[in-house]
């Protein structure tokens, strides 16, 4: 977006890319718009992203907003032509996202100075989990063809990126809409083979039931980062059913076990929602237990918030205070498993990818802090892990 806007001569424009995943995300987006407009009274304010796609009118009604553009439009160079974008009086430029059938590969030029580059290989989602608003912001699932993905990664490697992260809304559905319906595992194998100079490939977040056999196989490859973020959402089978998730608690545990059998040093992350409608204390405790049973080192705990238009928003809701308390209890459990995970890393001699200043990460994504480091960002250094502060490791460069 920034590339398109700069090329069109809109360097001074404020672009707010909104998120709709929780009510809090939308509230923060509105607040950001107000603040940005106040700090930059002469700049046009362009609002886009999922919250803008889903409720364009709400943003258009804000006096601070110059234009609202859709998630598809924001990636088209022509959208950003000042005559088209700022001409006329109609504030909203948002099409029906469900009619979009293709996704272009984004992020061609990489990100300056970053240790890792993110490549979006898939967008949208064909599932309709009952709590989730994302498909209404992103549309149905569509994939970037493998050849295009490989070309993008080659270019990122040429521009000096050490690590590439494959991202998508529903990453494991990659390929279903492409000729021959290849699967994510095939894509990963192809990248490793065709871009031998790529040092590290990371898979961002996957659906717990959709990992294909080729993907399991490639997890053993040392160039694949030993890290997996699972979209688990709950630890209770009835809640999972009401969420319209496609896996059971037992399958989540088996998946974590299988991943550990393939890569014993793997670190697992997960999303879990607290306070889904009708969640009893016993059901909630199943989520709490799942954190331990799957040994989730990196937990993202979300307090449930009803998203207008979703089936879960019409189910009997829990009190806000109960939801908040349960989310806090999930976080306490997550903090404890993180400490256990950090304990296992103390004493290791390993590579740390420097991100910026004295910060970096292990290949399993564990954050690391150095007392002193002379290596530049984006390069790995050999280090000894000497301790941790309960949130990140402490290391000395060797
Ligand atoms: S699979 Fe993920 S993105 Fe798709 S509807 Fe479910 S939670 Fe939302």
Consecutive 10-residue averages of pLDDT for the chain (398 residues)? 90 94 94 96 95 96 96 90 86 86 60 75 95 94 95 92 93 96 97 97 92 96 97 98 97 97 97 98 98 97 95 98 98 98 98 91 96 82 96 95
pLDDT of residue 100: 80
Ligand 1 centroid – CA 142 distance (Å): 14
Rounded Cα gap, residues 32 and 222, in angstroms:
41
* Interval between CA 245 and ligand 1 midpoint (Å): 8
Q: Which of 54, 125, 130 to mutate to test the pocket of ligand 1 (most atoms within 8 A of CB)?
A: 125
**210-236 core/surface letters (b: 16 or more CB in 10 A; e: else):** bbbebbeebbeeebbbbbbbbbbbbbb
Q: Which of 19, 127, 273 to mutate to test the pocket of ligand 1 (most atoms within 8 A of CB)?
A: 127
Q: How far is the CA of 270 from the centre of ligand 1 (A)?
A: 14
Q: What is the pLDDT of residue 280?
A: 98
For residue 233, which atom of ligand 1 is closest to its CA?
Answer: 7
Using the mean position of ligand 1's atoms as its centre, give its distance from the Cα of residue 236 in Å.
18
Q: How far is the CA of 133 from the centre of ligand 1 (A)?
A: 8
Q: What is the pLDDT of residue 102?
A: 72
User: What pLDDT shows up at residue 89?
Assistant: 82
Ligand 1 nearest-atom number relative to CA 244: 6
Whose Cα sits closest to atom 1 in ligand 1? 127
Instruction: Tell me, in angstroms, the distance from the centre of ligand 1 to residue 231's CA.
Output: 9
**In Å, how far from its chain's centre is CA 37?**
27
For a substitution probing ligand 1, which of 231, 310, 312 has the most ligand atoms within 8 Å of its CB? 231
**Ligand 1: residues within 6 Å at CB?**
125, 127-129, 132, 134-135, 169-170, 207, 231
Please report the pLDDT score of residue 254 as a whole number: 97
What sign does the dihedral 100-77-144-110 (CA atoms) show?
A: negative
Strand order in the sheet with 267-274: 205-207, 227-233, 267-274, 296-303
Model pLDDT, residue 112: 47
> Sign of the CA dihedral 153, 156, 160, 161?
negative
Tell whether the torsion through CA atoms of 325, 328, 334 and 340 is positive or negative.
Answer: negative
Nearest CA to ligand 1 atom 6: 129
């Amino acid at each position: 977006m920034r590339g398109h806007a700069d090329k069109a001569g809109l360097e001074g424009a404020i672009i707010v890319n909104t998120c709709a995943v929780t009510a809090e995300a939308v509230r923060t987006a509105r607040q950001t718009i107000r603040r940005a407009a106040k700090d930059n009274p002469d700049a046009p304010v362009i609002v886009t992203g999922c919250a803008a796609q889903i409720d364009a009118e709400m943003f258009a009604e804000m006096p601070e907003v110059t234009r609202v553009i859709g998630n598809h439009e924001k990636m088209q160079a022509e959208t950003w032509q000042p005559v088209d974008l700022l001409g006329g009086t109609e504030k909203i430029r948002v099409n029906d996202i469900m009619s979009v059938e293709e996704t272009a590969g984004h992020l061609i030029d990489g990100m300056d100075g970053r240790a890792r580059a993110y490549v979006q290989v898939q967008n949208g989602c064909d599932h309709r989990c009952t709590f989730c608003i994302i498909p209404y912001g992103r549309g149905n699932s569509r994939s970037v063809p493998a050849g295009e993905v490989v070309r993008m990664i080659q270019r990122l490697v040429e521009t000096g990126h050490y690590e590439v992260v494959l991202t998508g809304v529903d990453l494991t559905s990659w390929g279903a809409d492409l000729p021959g319906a290849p699967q994510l595992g095939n894509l990963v194998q192809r990248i490793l083979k065709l871009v031998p100079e790529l040092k590290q490939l990371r898979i961002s977040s996957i659906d717990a039931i959709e990992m294909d056999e080729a993907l399991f196989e490639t997890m053993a490859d040392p160039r694949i980062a030993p890290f997996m973020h699972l979209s688990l959402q709950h630890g209770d089978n009835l809640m999972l059913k009401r969420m319209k998730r496609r896996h059971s608690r037992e399958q989540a545990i088996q998946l974590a076990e299988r991943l550990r059998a393939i890569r014993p040093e793997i670190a697992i992350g997960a999303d879990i929602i607290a306070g889904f409608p009708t969640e009893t204390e016993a059901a909630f405790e199943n989520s709490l237990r799942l954190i331990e049973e799957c040994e989730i080192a990196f937990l993202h705990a979300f307090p449930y918030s009803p998203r207008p238009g979703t089936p879960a928003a019409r189910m009997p809701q829990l009190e806000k205070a109960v939801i908040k308390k349960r989310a806090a209890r999930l976080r306490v459990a997550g903090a404890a498993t993180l400490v256990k995970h950090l304990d296992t890393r103390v004493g290791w001699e390993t590579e740390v990818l420097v991100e910026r200043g004295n910060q970096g990460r292990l290949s399993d994504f564990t954050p690391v802090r150095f007392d002193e480091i002379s290596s530049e960002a984006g390069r790995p250094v050999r280090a000894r892990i000497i301790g941790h502060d309960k949130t990140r490791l402490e290391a000395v460069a060797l």
